[in-house]
Structure 1
Amino acid sequence: MSSYTTISSDKLARLIGTANAPALIDVRTDEDFAADQRLIPGSIKLSHEKVSDWGADFAGRSAIVSCFRGEKLAQGTAAWLRQLGVRAETLEGGFEGWKAAKLPLVDTRKLPPRDGRGRTVWVTRARPKIDRIACPWLIRRFVDPNAVFLFVAPSEVVAVGERFNAAPFDIENVFWSHRGELCTFDVMIEEFGITAPPLLRLATLVRGADTARPDLAPEAPGLLAASLGLSRMYDDDLEQLEAGMLLYDAFYRWCRDATGETHNWPTNKAKA
């Protein structure tokens, strides 16, 4: 039964992918994680044994802790976090409960190696427009909230990836790239196993805007216009990425919650 220190899978699923989502912390044992190397979208894997070391990093934030079944490891870790000033809850039923509910899980075997601080590192062409903003948004919101993105000259993407242990994306002849009619955003959704309906709807908009296919969705030209406008507003690629995060937050919420809503004026016009 839910309490003020637990959250159900259904409620957590509504928070994942949003700008104000809590930190999601998976503290399954190494043995349990080895048996199923997937993560709840947006989660980071940390050791319950070292919570007194890393817990302060989340002070002042909200966090949801999950273990195998939501029992001792999650409860103890969450209690420690509350001692450290974190608004911590546990996931009811833990990882197994989430899996039993058939909710999306990220296949971590597809992730590039992490750096010394546990972050994935990605590299792509400078001056991003659509796919190169959409993909970082997807990664930060659903795959690795601490991911690092490097924007470099197109001719140097592969070499920078090799020297800095970064995964190249959205260039030709690499794993994370266009495939047939699919853009890189489509590929990431499929490869990571997060094919939820709102993300698939958003992928159609991204594909339409990124591949000059406005026929795919009426909203695709709007996404293209907003993306090109952002690229003119910012000279710094990282500043543009931060602004683009808000743009994709809005489009995602529309895809998830508002596709059936219309708007007209005047709203309260008296009937004749």
Structure 2
Amino acid sequence: MSSHLEIAPEKLARLIGTPKCPALIDVRVGEDFDEDPRLVPGSIRRDYRKVQEWATELGGTSAVVVCHRGKKLSYGVAAWLRNYGIAADVLEGGVAAWTEGGYPTVPISAIPERDASGRTVWVTRARPKIDRIACPWLIRRFVDPLAVFLYVAPSEVEAVAERFAATPFDMDAPIRWSHRGELCTFDIMVEEFGLSIEPLLRLATIVRGADTSRLDLAPQASGLLAASLGLSRMYADDLEQLEAGMALYDAFYRWCRDATDETHNWPSPKKDS
């Protein structure tokens, strides 16, 4: 049973991918991380010895600290964070318990190099519709909550990627993060980030149907297409559209995870007296 300073893996798994997820901090020492170079989704590596330097950089008011087995490193860092007014818990059992529980992990090899501020930087074509909103949502919710997205003219994506050390995605070019065959970029990211869990696979089918004009793949694809096109006309600023789109995909994800069996009807069927 978790102590009042710990959070169980199953409880954390319910928070990951939602706007209410706390900051996730991986403080494993080098040899432990090298033994299993994968991250709890959405977590960021930090040096436990420098906690007093980076504690003030945390954007949220709550955090979960992750180490190898949820012992002294996690407890010490969490205690320091609480001194900075951050409600900090320890992942019960650490990464070992997380992986033993069968929860997804993100291979560090799939995550682009971070900039000087610790953020991954991505670049794609301006005026996004579906994939170019869905992929940033996936990255921010499951890979890097600090990720920065640059929307530029299609002809400038390659040059911007080179000059600003940004990772291009969803381009009609032979790059890692783009369509492959019948799969869209969102499909590729779900697979390569190690996130092939049932709710995200269900969402990927919906995204693929909306993004590739295959509305027969899922009944919800038509709704996603309509909502996405509506957002693109509501917002002239791509980043404002992205922020609005985050809530849209939050809702679709929660439906995929929690509400696929629920129906709604009005008026409610009358019960026999």
Fold similarity call, TM over 0.5: yes
* Count of residue correspondences: 272
By how many angstroms is 1:40 displaced?
0.2
Report % sequence identity: 68
Partner of residue 159, structure 2: 159
1:35/1:234 Cα in 2 relative to 1: closer, same or farther (>3 Å)?
A: same
Amino acid at match of 1:267: S
Amino acid at match of 1:160: V
What does residue range 1-272 of structure 1 map to in structure 2 within 5 Å? Answer: 1-58=1-58, 61-172=61-172, 173-267=174-268, 269=270, 271=272
Deviations 1:204-232 (A, max 9, x none): 00000000001000010000000000000
- Could you tell me how far apart the structure 2 residues matched to 1:142 and 1:60 are? 16
- Could you tell me how far apart the structure 1 residues matched to 2:179 and 2:64 are? 34
By how many angstroms is 1:271 displaced?
4.1
Amino acid at match of 2:39: L
TM-score by length of 2: 0.97
Asked if 1 retains the 8 angstrom alpha-carbon contact of 2:38 and 2:108, the reply is yes
Amino acid at match of 2:261: G
Deviations 1:34-76 (A, max 9, x none): 2221100010111111111111233761111010100000000
Asked if 1 retains the 8 angstrom alpha-carbon contact of 2:18 and 2:250, the reply is yes
By how many angstroms is 1:158 displaced?
1.0
By how many angstroms is 1:269 displaced?
3.6
- Could you tell me how far apart the structure 1 residues matched to 2:176 and 2:39 are? 21
Deviations 1:116-135 (A, max 9, x none): 01111000000000000000
- Could you tell me how far apart the structure 2 residues matched to 1:209 and 1:95 are? 36
Which deviates more, 242-251 or 260-269? 260-269
Where structure 1 has 5 or more consecutive residues not aligned to the other structure, the ranges are none
